[in-house]
């Protein structure tokens, strides 16, 4: 979980190394965040090649503007996620606007576009929340949702009490439900 | 007084049909705590019925239940969205093109950077149990195939231990602490021995941290780095060759791991493969001399000793495929120059096949090679190539 106080040492050092122009730092940044960035872009755009393009743009942006990230404002991870989201939604708007047929009237097209953008934003935010939530909550959700275990089995698998398993499932879903809350641009900072 | 079983009383047995018994009277707090499990359909039928009855009476629980049900809709089955390993190279190239780095990676460190990143991406994808999948490390010793059994995690521990040779040469922490072990095999055995339990996936983080630190540190050593050498126990390699050697080993063992867990794994990028082949080709004359000293050489007659830097009898090594090329290997003395005029034999083989030979994964007799000329010279070179391998 991110804390708003002292920025994590890794984030601070990474920002300094990028600002210094250290190619090795860029590689490490990629190794840490590429799957997050690519995954979010893919969730918004639903296309492998488009997600590759966004990944390239996100890392190029950070590398070219290392000072754009201020470690005091929050974790680098959230900042990268928000940047990815912004660029991916921009791309979605551009491609969808071009693709929408001429047959429908302008208002319907605009509504359709906004609906798609909203849908993609919530989905991407949800992915981010799942990936950033404390590992015990994620593990409980995974057991119940992916592996179809009931909460008693999940409790046994996790080696916790049944009370605790219920608590984790409820808390995990509560966190996840906040994906619906934030408007655009999404609030990647804060507690999750 | 002991209760008698209903079967013994003669009274009718209870009806088995009602699967959902009447909802137990659960307090509000318990019902509320069940909402997450309920939304995920992860509680018993009785509890489900109790929760649903409660939702009709309790507004705040009903609100939360609706939110949590919607949240379940945001979950999805994990997609195996493997990142294309080549994407890393493309993305980094774009970045470095737009803003040239002030502290670039030395050219000779890029294969290590790329191979460690590829292996790490593979490790990211494998499941907990697969870390304990058996792997057989294979190499050649004294012209005989040798092997050692370990696990996927044991292989990463091996890479961590041997990469540690470079770390120590650069003044970084030694992952094999407090042991007098020097060579790759001794260090690996020492590392394996030092832990009370067999290695687990927890070995990934220190391995990755060290590989990142190596790449970072050699970026700062700059042009003076060529003068540093890395002791391997029995021999030493200049730093830039040691980094190439580690890139090669990383790929070879990544393939071992990929085989063990049944994943596809591609050879390195052609320009990296070329550098690895070049390193092996440059090490062959020394390996041939060592074979002669050990009495393993089959070449008849006395070697035509030549002064250092003078042309000597040579074998033309033709490597086909991406990353290939041609190398003239001096046969009689490591100090001699390869010479096209004094070419006595010609071997052609595929680049990846040659690397597998040099890794001890293909016996020299079976290395699919087009051969022309002095058969004994060819045999010696192929065995010398296999002899470059080690644990």
Q: Over the stretch B165-196, which tens digit does the pLDDT of each residue have?
A: 999 999 999 988 766 778 898 899 888 888 77
Longest alpha-carbon distance in chain B: 110
Highest mean pLDDT among A118-132, B261-275, B355-369: B261-275
Q: Which of B74, B88, B215 sits opposite A176 (nearest CB)?
A: B74
Strand partners, B135: B150
Q: Is the pLDDT of residue B11 over 80?
A: no
Closest CA to B155 of B261, B305, B273: B261
Would you place residue B146 in the very low, low, confident or very high pLDDT band (cuts 50, 70, 90)? Answer: very high
| Domains of chain A, earliest start first | 1-105 (1.10.1740.10)
Q: Across the interface, do B75 and A154 touch by the CB < 8 Å criterion?
A: no
Q: What is the mean pLDDT of residues B223-244?
A: 86
Query: Which residue(s) pair with B347 in the sheet?
Result: B317, B371
Q: Is the pLDDT of residue A177 over 90?
A: yes
Q: Which domains does chain B have, with CATH numbers?
A: 18-71 (no CATH), 103-261 (1.20.120.450), 279-387 (3.30.1050)
pLDDT score, position B201: 87
CB-CB neighbors (< 8 A) of A23 in chain B: 92, 96, 101, 103-105, 219
Mean pLDDT of B271-290: 95
pLDDT tier at B226 (50, 70, 90 boundaries)? low
Q: Which residue in A has a C-alpha nearest to residue B84's C-alpha?
A: A52
* Mean pLDDT, range B222-250, rounded to an integer: 87
Judging contacts by C-beta atoms under 8 Å, the chain A residues touching residue B103 are: 20-24
Q: Contacts of residue B88 in chain A, CB cutoff 8 Å?
A: 27, 30-31, 34
The pLDDT value given to residue A1: 41
Residue B359 in contact with residue B110, Cβ under 8 Å? no
| Contact (CB, 8 A) for B330 and B360 | no
> In this predicted model, what pLDDT tens digit does every residue of A8-25 receive, in sequence order?
899 999 999 999 999 999
The complex scores an ipTM of 0.81
Tens-place pLDDT, residues A137-154: 999 999 999 889 999 999
List the single residue in B34, B40, B88 with the smallest CB-CB distance to A145. B40
d(CA B239, CA B170) in angstroms, rounded, equals 9
Query: Taking CB atoms and an 8 Å cutoff, what residues of chain B touch A130?
Result: 75
> Do the Cβ atoms of A138 and A107 come closer than 8 Å?
no
Q: What per-residue confidence (pLDDT) applies to A185?
A: 43
pLDDT at residue B335, rounded to an integer: 87
For residues B242 and A106, the model is more confident at B242
Say how many CA atoms lie within 13 Å of A58 toward its Cβ: 33
Residues B160 and B203: beta-carbon distance below 8 Å: yes
Cβ neighbours of residue B274 closer than 8 Å, sequence gap 6 or more? B323, B324, B325, B351
Residue B361 distance to chain A (closest CA, Å)? 30
Give the pLDDT score at B333.
87
- What pLDDT shows up at residue B8? 56
Query: How many CB atoms lie under 10 A from the CB of residue B326?
Result: 13
Share of chain B above pLDDT 90, in %: 67
Q: How far apart are CA B353 and CA B370, in angstroms?
A: 12
Reported as a pLDDT band with limits 50, 70 and 90, residue B116 is very high
**Residue in A24, A25, A169 closest to B37 by CB:** A169
Mean pLDDT of chain B: 88
Q: What residue of B is the nearest CA neighbor of A141?
A: B40
Size of interface A-B (CB pairs under 8 A): 155
Task: Name chain B contacts of A192, Cβ cutoff 8 Å.
Answer: none
Q: Please, which pLDDT band fits residue B127 given cuts at 50, 70 and 90?
A: confident
Of A27, A14, A65, A18, the closest CA to residue B106 belongs to A27
Indicate whether A182 pLDDT > 70.
no
DSSP per position, B215-270: HHHHHHHGGGGGG-EEE-SS-EEEHHHHHHHHHHHHHHHHHHHHHHHT---PPPPH
Minimum distance, in Å, between the CA of residue B43 and any CA atom of chain A: 6
Q: How far is CA B386 from CA B11, B150, B283, B381, in A?
A: 84, 21, 12, 9
Average pLDDT for residues B265-271, to the nearest whole number?
Answer: 95
Does A185 sit behind a cis peptide bond, omega within 30 degrees of 0 on the bond before it? Answer: yes
- Bridge partners (DSSP) of residue B346 are B316, B372
3-state SS record for A55-121? HHHHHHHHHHCHHHCCHHHCCHHHHHHHHHHHHHHHHHHHHHHHHCCCCCCHHHHHHHHHHHHHHHH
In the predicted model, what is the mean pLDDT of residues A19-38?
96
Distance CA B62, CA A139 (A): 26
Using an 8 Å CB-CB cutoff, list chain A residues near B40. Answer: 141, 144-145, 169, 173
Q: Supply the pLDDT for residue A184.
A: 41
CA distance B251 to B272: 11
Would you list the DSSP string of B74-95? T--PPP--PPPHHHHHHHHHHH
B76/B221 Cα distance (integer angstroms): 47
CA A158 to chain centre: 26
A107 or A157, which is more confident? Answer: A157
């Amino acid at each position: 979980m991110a804390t708003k106080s002292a920025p994590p040492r890794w984030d601070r050092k990474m920002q300094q190394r990028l600002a210094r122009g250290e190619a090795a730092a860029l590689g490490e940044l990629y190794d840490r965040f590429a799957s997050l960035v690519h995954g979010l872009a893919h969730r918004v755009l639903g296309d492998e090649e488009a997600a590759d393009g966004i990944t390239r743009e996100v890392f190029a942006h950070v590398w070219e503007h290392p000072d754009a990230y201020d470690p005091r404002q929050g974790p680098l991870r959230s900042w990268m996620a928000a940047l990815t989201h912004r660029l991916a939604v921009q791309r979605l708007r551009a491609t969808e606007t071009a693709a929408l047929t001429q047959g429908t009237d302008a208002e319907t097209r605009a509504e359709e576009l906004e609906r798609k953008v909203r849908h993609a934003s919530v989905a991407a935010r949800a992915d981010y929340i799942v990936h950033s939530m404390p590992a015990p909550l994620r593990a409980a959700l995974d057991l119940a949702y992916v592996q179809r275990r009931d909460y008693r089995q999940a409790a046994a698998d996790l080696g916790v009490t049944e009370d605790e398993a219920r608590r984790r499932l409820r808390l995990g879903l509560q966190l996840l439900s906040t994906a619906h809350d934030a408007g655009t641009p999404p609030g990647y900072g804060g507690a999750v | 007084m002991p209760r008698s079983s209903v079967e013994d009383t003669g009274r009718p047995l209870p009806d088995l049909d009602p699967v959902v018994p009447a909802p137990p009277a659960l307090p509000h707090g318990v019902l509320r705590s069940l909402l997450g499990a309920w939304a995920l359909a992860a509680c018993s039928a009785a509890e489900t019925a109790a929760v649903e009855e409660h939702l009709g009476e309790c507004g705040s629980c009903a609100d939360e239940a609706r939110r949590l049900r919607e949240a379940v809709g945001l979950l999805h089955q994990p997609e195996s969205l493997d990142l294309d390993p080549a994407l890393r190279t493309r993305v980094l190239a774009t970045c470095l093109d737009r803003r040239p780095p002030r502290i670039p990676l030395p050219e000779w460190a890029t294969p290590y950077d790329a191979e460690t990143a590829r292996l790490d991406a593979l490790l990211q994808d494998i499941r907990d149990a697969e870390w304990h999948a058996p792997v057989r490390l294979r190499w050649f010793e004294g012209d005989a195939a040798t092997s050692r059994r370990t696990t996927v995690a044991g292989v990463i521990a091996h890479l961590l231990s041997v990469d540690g040779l470079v770390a120590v040469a650069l003044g970084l922490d030694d992952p094999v602490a407090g042991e007098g072990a020097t060579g790759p095999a001794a260090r690996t055995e020492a590392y394996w021995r030092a832990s009370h339990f067999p290695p687990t996936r927890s070995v990934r983080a220190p391995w990755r941290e060290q590989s990142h630190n190596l790449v970072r540190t050699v970026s700062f050593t700059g042009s003076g780095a060529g003068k540093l050498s890395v002791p391997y126990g029995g021999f030493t390699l200049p730093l830039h060759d040691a980094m190439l050697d580690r890139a090669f080993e990383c790929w070879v063992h990544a393939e071992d791991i990929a085989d063990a867990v049944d994943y596809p794994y591609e050879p390195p990028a052609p320009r990296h493969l070329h550098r690895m082949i070049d390193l092996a080709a440059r090490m062959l004359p020394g390996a041939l001399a060592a074979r002669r000293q050990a009495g393993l050489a089959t070449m008849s007659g006395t070697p035509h000793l030549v002064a250092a830097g003078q042309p000597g009898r040579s074998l033309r090594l033709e490597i086909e495929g991406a990353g290939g090329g041609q190398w003239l290997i001096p046969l009689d003395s490591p100090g001699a120059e390869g010479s096209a005029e004094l070419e006595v034999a010609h071997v052609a083989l595929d680049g990846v096949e040659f690397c597998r030979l040099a890794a001890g994964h293909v016996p020299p007799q079976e290395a699919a090679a087009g051969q022309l000329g002095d058969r004994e010279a060819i045999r010696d070179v192929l065995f010398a190539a296999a002899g470059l391998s080690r644990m």
